[in-house]
Amino acid sequence: MSGMRDHNRNSGILSGILAVRDLRILFPTRDGRDTVKAIDGMDFEVRAGETFGIIGESGSGKTTLGRALVSLLPPSHGQILHDGTDLAALSTSAFRKHRRDYQIIFQDPNAALNPRMTIIDSVVEPLEIMGEGDHASRHRRGIEVLERVGLAAEAADRYPHQLSGGQKQRVNIARVLTLRPKVIVCDEVVAALDVSIRGDVLNLFADLQREFGLTYVFITHDISVVSHISDRIAVTYLGKLMELGPAEDVVERPLHPYTRALLSAEPLPLPSHLRVDRRIILEGEIPSPVAPPSGCRFRTRCPSVQPRCAKEVPAWRDVKPGHRVACHFATADGPPPDNQKAQRAS
């Protein structure tokens, strides 16, 4: 396995292994008259070897971002650099060779596997596509990774319907591991699994990261999952980043009013005497990405909104070292006070 390690350690340590520069991804609406701004200006870097968590509501651009990071979607504007290389500048053959380092695992373990292919055929297919080795060596490698993700060799000749959801997700992990990628984007990979087996699959992700020096981009709406496994967390809202910082800071001491409200909505399994009423109910739902609000896009639901928020787009600024936020009024001490609470106090 040492070869695999060297392969991963060569580069990407100094700068981000993934760098996103002013990224915009736009889709035309079906009638062609409007534009959906799925990603509307994002800047961040993912460091080699870290787990980078992305949280946000549906419609905030999480999945689009994940697909763009592994070049399944071209940027409409801006750049995505893999290890300093702009993929748009690569020739087709160089691009094919390069993208194997950047893999993605999807939410639905059923939809990601062909029901007519045996497990081993699905697992070695990426190697076939890359034209690696002969049939026997590919098969050996496939069995090896299946065992590594905790599936017995008997599973190899089964079909997807004969496995449980958790086992199928392990197969999907095995399939991307065959390519020895550097970065794996995990898009809601445990959302479809029962809570009782989620832990097992997340533990496997952590083990594989230690063993192979993998970098993860973990996209999820489950705050308890993302706060458990991430080194840093980014919070998305309507195509933009609201906050980015060390996981513990973002979860324990959020600086953006949106992060604060999002975290407070997470239902906690606590008995009533340990429950504190800290919930901030956000009114309404996420606005349409066709016509996002002017200025700060969270202002229509923000409990701390001020007149300035409608006029000016907040800068994406460092409030603390390594902790960025897009809010005019956030400080290193926390988000601006709730308008209602401030009124009651005065």
Partner 1 sequence: MTGAIDISAPTATRVAGMPDAGVSPQPLLEVRDLSLSFATARGALPITRNVNFTIAPGERVGLVGESGCGKTVTGLSLLRLLPPQSARIQGDILFNGTNLATLSPRRMRAVRGREIAMIFQEPMSALDPVFTVGDQISEAYRIHFPVSRAEGRERAIAALREVGIPAPERRCDEYPHQLSGGMRQRVMIAMALICKPKLLVADEPTTALDVTVQAQITDLLRSLSERTGTALIFITHDLGVVAETCTRMITMYAGEVVEDAPVDDVLTRPRHPYTSGLLRSLPSLSPRRGVLASIPGRVPSPNAMPAGCRFRARCSHAVAGCEQKQPMVESGNGRAARCWRAPELVLPGAVN
174 and 144 in contact (C-beta within 8 Å)? no
CB 12, min distance to partner 1, A: 21
- DSSP conformational letter for 41: E
C-beta of 207 vs 312, nearer to partner 1: 207
CB 204, min distance to partner 1, A: 10
CB 162, min distance to partner 1, A: 12
198-206's contacts with Cβ under 8 Å and 24+ in sequence apart are 198/225, 200/166, 201/166, 201/169, 201/170, 201/173, 202/228, 202/229, 204/149, 204/150, 204/170, 204/173, 205/173, 205/229
Q: Please choose, from the candidates 53, 17, 22, the residue with its C-alpha nearest in 3D space to the C-alpha of residue 231.
A: 53
C-beta of 48 vs 223, nearer to partner 1: 223
Euclidean distance between the first and the last CA atom of the chain, given in angstroms as a whole number: 64
CB 30, min distance to partner 1, A: 13
For residue 303, what are the CA distances in angstroms to 111, 112, 177, 238, 341? 40, 40, 44, 17, 9
Residues forming contacts to partner 1 in the complex (CB under 8 A) are 57-58, 164, 166, 194-200, 202-203, 206, 221, 223-225, 227-229, 247-248, 261-262, 265-275, 279, 281-282, 285-286
C-beta of 270 vs 345, nearer to partner 1: 270
Whole-angstrom distance, CA of residue 23 vs CA of residue 240: 10
C-beta of 127 vs 146, nearer to partner 1: 146
C-beta of 171 vs 223, nearer to partner 1: 223
Maximum pairwise Cα distance, the chain? 76
CB 80, min distance to partner 1, A: 26
CB 181, min distance to partner 1, A: 21
Beta strands 183-187 and 18-28, pairing class: unpaired
Handedness of CA 40, 230, 70, 321 (dihedral sign): positive
C-beta of 156 vs 163, nearer to partner 1: 163
C-beta of 134 vs 283, nearer to partner 1: 283
CB 55, min distance to partner 1, A: 9
C-beta of 33 vs 273, nearer to partner 1: 273
CB 270, min distance to partner 1, A: 6
Per residue, the 3-state secondary structure of 291-327, as one string, reads CCCCCCCCCCCCCCCCCHHHHCCCCCEEEECCEEECC
